[in-house]
Every structure is written in structure tokens, then in C-alpha cells.
Structure 1
């Protein structure tokens, strides 16, 4: 999508501030933050799987920060796959900060990040540190291996083999100037398959090219 000179100027300034903005905004979110979005997305995925629609199997988490949303998505889909035989998926997660990508790949987080999760999910998907003083948890290897992390600037073109069925971008757009947020949403839309789903962190006032579903989920039209 073409950006005006004003938007390009804003974008250039934002590049300098974005690492600090991301760091400030990403600290307090735990796993499955705003769980209703993941629940609603799981319902859509299950509906496509059960009713013979084109399956939603390829997922991109753009601006994944330290990986909590990517792993939350993975846990959601693994739980759904337990209920629906044959449900398969792949997840690519990107962030433009190498330090975030590195931490995401390690999958080690503070115990506070799982404080709102049911104990059954914690036992199923996390390992607690043997050293109780460190107060850390780590994603089990089977979960970490299911998410492919890549260093990628959301402002640059994504090199994808094929369009994505679902793009999750909950940590980025709603913090931007509205004009830039809409421009970035338009850029993400070009990487969605027909009828694909875009998941945002907050509802946008208007989204050309999308139909609003619920819980800040949009379908490309």
C-alpha cells in the first residue's frame, strides 16, 4: 500500500522510538492475554475444519515481541487439535528486534507470565525451573519446536512461500497513528489468503478491505 509523505516521515521517526515503545508495552502481558480472542479464533478454526471449508492452517504472528502471543496461539491450536482429529497448523512468528527473537526461541519466562492460566495448561505446556529462586518457567520442547521465529521488520516486505490463513498482530497497530495503522493493516492484508483472518490488539474504527467479526478479528474481503 502506498504511504503519503506525511506517513513516511512519521514512520521514519517511529523507527527510532519503536524499540522503547515495544519494551514498555510488552512487559506485563502474560500468556493467553485477552483469552476471548484466542477462544473466538479457535472457534473459527474448528468451524472451518469441521464443515469442510478451506482449512485455516498457516498462521503468522507479526510483531511477536518476546513470543508470548506466538506460544499462546500454539497452545490454543494444540488444545483445539486434541478435540478435532486431523487439525494441522504451522506458525511463523516475527519481530524486528533480534533480542526479542532470541528470547522467544529460548521460551523462558517469568512465572508471573502464567499466573492467569489454568493449572492443567501449565502442567501440559510448561516446565518449572528446578531452582525455585529463579522463579522461571519454560515452554516444553514440543511446543517450542512448533513455532518458527524470524527477525523481520513489519515495515518491510515479508518473504512468504504462500499467503497466510491467519495473521495475528496484537502488539503493534493500535499503538500507532491511525493513518499509519490503516496503512500497515493494508500491507498485512496482501499477505492474507482470500477470506483470511487478521487479529488485532484493539478494534480499529474503520478497516477498508476487511469485515469486522468480533473481538478485534477481521476477515479479508
Structure 2
């Protein structure tokens, strides 16, 4: 299976237009390897045949979502960049509760949720906070473009190795062990699962809508895959979906330096809507 320059250019342009992800020549081998999965699944012998199918009316209906699944990177962990969750409880929630004592539900969006570790971490943290602050209620929206990772997230089942960052007291409260002691899978408790709503969303859609505006957006280690122009447009969309004085959390390698957006930095990689 050889990825010719012509096919690489067609595919990389298509991926950029649809996903906002720019695939440079240095990542050509990576793209070729990932496409191999789809060629085998479709029993196609070359990338040229795959492109013909991808850009056909049938491919538009059936294959685009599978290509997006293999192209996107899905690296995540429970309590990844844990300082963000400390800031959420110590700063954001205390400020939010001071201004919202009329029973309004706190809404948070995990934008680029991958296999679910981030939104379920949110659920653990927010549920602990709710137990200490009677009357506090919350809802988590979790989205990703990949149907594959969303299917995994909805099952809420993880191998024991994946939960290593979760504190022991949280494991006891929120993780269910298998009845078979030899089975190393655990599942998120039903009470937490019902707090998270998963859905597919493509950031590159000209308009995307959430049911309601949110108080906080976590979009961490996602915009690094976009060029600066696309990053700024996306952050502008995020601002539209934030409530007044809402917060945006980015990954520690990401920055809004030079962006014309109504946000000001309040902590490392934490921004507040002006």
C-alpha cells in the first residue's frame, strides 16, 4: 500500500477542510499506516481505490466517519493535569456559588472527551463537591468527533491500569469491580454515569449548538492539532457557548497569545470570559 503524493494531497486537504487538522509531509507515513486499517476493513488493495470510494456519494454517507476515527488522536487519562481540577473546585466553584444561590444547575463541557476519562473525572470531583455543598447540582456534556471513542466512553468500563491516577477513596465511592476477582475491569458507578451526556460534535461545522450555554469548558490538548487561524476561530465559538464570566481550560502546551478573543488569563492555561 503506497500513499502517492497526489493521494496524500487530496486526503490531507480533505482532512484539513473537515477536521481542521493539518497533516504535514512529515506525518505522511503516519497517515499511510492509519489508512491501512480502513483498506483492510473494506478489502481494498490501494489508496487510490480508497480515495475513489471516500469521495463517492456512498463514501460520504458511510466512510467519512470511519476516516475521522482513524485520523484523530485520542490520548487521555483520569485526572490528567490534575491542577485544573483543584482550580475548578477551589476557585471556579466557590465563585460560581457565591453568584448563583437560586438553584441553577452548574454546566460543564468536556470538548474532545475521547474515551471518557476526563468527563468521569469531572463527575467524581463535582459529586464530591456536591456532597459537601447541599443544593449544588451539576451536568456534564461530553463530545468528540470519533464515534469509536464515544462508544467506549458510554460503556464506562476501564482496565485496572487506567485508574491508577484515581485516589483510593474515590475508587471506593465511584468505581465498581467485577464480581470475578480475577477480572481487572472496573466500571464507573451508575450515579456518575447518569451525570454525563455524550454526543458527537465536529468543531469544524460552520455552526454547532449545545442545548444550553455552559459555565466551564475543558478543551485540553486538542487545539494543538489545528493551525493558528483555526484555533482562533474555534476559541471564538467556545466564547459564544460560555455563560457570562465562564471559564475555558486549555492544555498546558496551549496558549491564546495573540488571539483576538474576549478572554483574559486568570491562571496558567485558564481563561475567563470578559
Report the TM range for the smaller structure's normalisation: 0.7 to 0.9
Query: What residue is the counterpart of 1:14 in the other structure?
Result: 21
Inter-partner Cα distance in structure 2 for 1:77 and 1:117:
14
Structure 1: any 5+ residue segments left out of the alignment? 1-6
Query: What residue is the counterpart of 1:93 in the other structure?
Result: 142
Matched, 1:204 2:255: yes
Match of 2:118 among 69, 74, 81: 69
Q: Which aligned pairs between 1:7-156 and structure 2 lie closer than 5 A?
A: 10-12=16-18, 14=21, 19-20=69-70, 22-23=72-73, 25-26=74-75, 29-53=76-100, 57-156=106-205
Judge conservation of contact 1:49–1:87 (CA < 8 Å) in 2. Answer: no
CA deviations over 1:73-103 (Å, ceiling 9, x no partner): 1111111112111111111111111111111
**How many angstroms does 1:48 deviate by?**
2.6
Structure 1 or 2: more helix by fraction:
2
Question: Which one has a bigger Cα radius of gyration?
Answer: 2
Under a length normalisation based on structure 1, what TM-score does the superposition of the two structures give? 0.84
After superposition, the CA RMSD in angstroms is 2.6
Inter-partner Cα distance in structure 1 for 2:127 and 2:77:
18
Query: What residue is the counterpart of 1:4 in the other structure?
Result: none
Inter-partner Cα distance in structure 2 for 1:69 and 1:170:
10
Inter-partner Cα distance in structure 1 for 2:120 and 2:112:
13
Secondary structure, counterpart of 1:14 in structure 2? coil
Matched, 1:194 2:244: yes
Judge conservation of contact 1:48–1:56 (CA < 8 Å) in 2. Answer: no
Structure 1's 22 and 164: CA in aligned 2 closer, same or farther, altered over 3 A? same
CA deviations over 1:15-67 (Å, ceiling 9, x no partner): 886644644x51xx421111110110112343135423576711111111111
Judge conservation of contact 1:58–1:166 (CA < 8 Å) in 2. Answer: yes
156-165 or 117-126, larger mean C-alpha shift? 156-165
CA deviations over 1:163-218 (Å, ceiling 9, x no partner): 21111111411333233222211121111112111111124041432111113111
Query: What residue is the counterpart of 1:3 in the other structure?
Result: none
Inter-partner Cα distance in structure 1 for 2:256 and 2:14:
22
Structure 1's 76 and 186: CA in aligned 2 closer, same or farther, altered over 3 A? same
Structure 2: any 5+ residue segments left out of the alignment? 1-12, 24-30, 32-67
Judge conservation of contact 1:66–1:100 (CA < 8 Å) in 2. Answer: yes
Inter-partner Cα distance in structure 1 for 2:156 and 2:248:
25
Judge conservation of contact 2:247–2:272 (CA < 8 Å) in 1. Answer: yes
